[in-house]
Amino acid sequence: MTDMGAFREAATAWAAGGPGDLARELAARLPVRTAVLLEGLSDAAAVTALAVRRGRDLAAEGVCVLPMGGAMNIGRFARILGPSGLGLRLTGLCDERERPYYSRALARTDAAQEGFFVCAADLEDELIRALGVPRVQELVLAEGDSRALRTFLRQPAQQDRTPQQQLRRFLGTKKGRKIHYGRVLVEALEPDRVPAPLDALLAGLRPPPATGDGDPSTEQSASGSRRRPQTPR
């Protein structure tokens, strides 16, 4: 069945060096107008969960949430999906430490940087700070992971870390855990406590104008001027 998942798979295969014919065909047929480029599956889970909370169907709006399998792949995806490729609007999240790399990669492909929003450490860190350590610990208990957390906290390597740092590390200790908690943490957020980069990303993903006369470049610039920090300079 032709859907956004099929386009996501085709674009990922193309970025890995495969043919681009299927991605081009699906982009036109669906159609796809925006690609949200994210480092991994946990970021995609968080973005999708927030969209659902806000009553948004991103796929129906022509938005593809696309985990790249690592920040270092931004150049490949920007090249095939951005101005020199399919001509899609590009937006996404990046970590502070990856900001210079994103800036260079986007500049090389003539892709606009205003739609990319920067997390201080990473999105998990932003979510833990927004919820607070006690609330995240409650969620870990509710999800049945309290024993695993206690075992993890007894490790010598964790003794010099803050509780926030410990929780962030814990989320990455088991395959699939970061993805699971990407959704869980977002679903637990109060509406006014959504981390600024994530909030700005969703706010910038406006549905296409009913009249068909909207200017996507104007939307992208607006999303980049609203919140801290906006562009990976």
138, with CB counted inside 10 A (0-12, 13-18, 19+), is middle
Structure tokens at 108: 């090389």
- pLDDT tens digit sequence for 24-57: 999 999 999 999 999 999 999 999 999 999 999 9
Query: pLDDT band at 229, cuts 50/70/90?
Result: very low
Q: Where are the alpha helices (DSSP H) in the chain?
A: 4-15, 21-29, 41-53, 74-81, 99-108, 123-131, 133-142, 146-153, 163-171, 177-188, 196-204, 216-224
Query: pLDDT band at 207, cuts 50/70/90?
Result: confident
Contact between residue 120 and residue 113 where contact means Cβ atoms under 8 Å apart: no
- pLDDT tens digit sequence for 80-114: 999 999 999 999 999 999 999 999 999 999 999 99
pLDDT at position 174 is: 92
20, with CB counted inside 10 A (0-12, 13-18, 19+), is middle
- pLDDT tens digit sequence for 150-190: 999 999 999 999 999 999 999 999 999 999 999 999 999 99
Q: List beta partners, residue 92.
A: 37, 116
pLDDT at position 210 is: 62
Predicted TM-score (pTM) of the model is: 0.88
CA distance 226 to 231: 11
Task: Indicate the average pLDDT of the chain.
Answer: 90
Could you give the 3-state DSSP secondary structure of residue 19? coil
pLDDT at position 168 is: 96
Q: How far is CA 30 from CA 5, 36, 162, 228, in A?
A: 11, 16, 46, 33
pLDDT at position 223 is: 31
Beta-carbon contacts of 137 under 8 Å, excluding residues fewer than 6 positions away, are 149, 167
- Higher-confidence residue: 209 or 97? 97
CA distance 103 to 96: 11
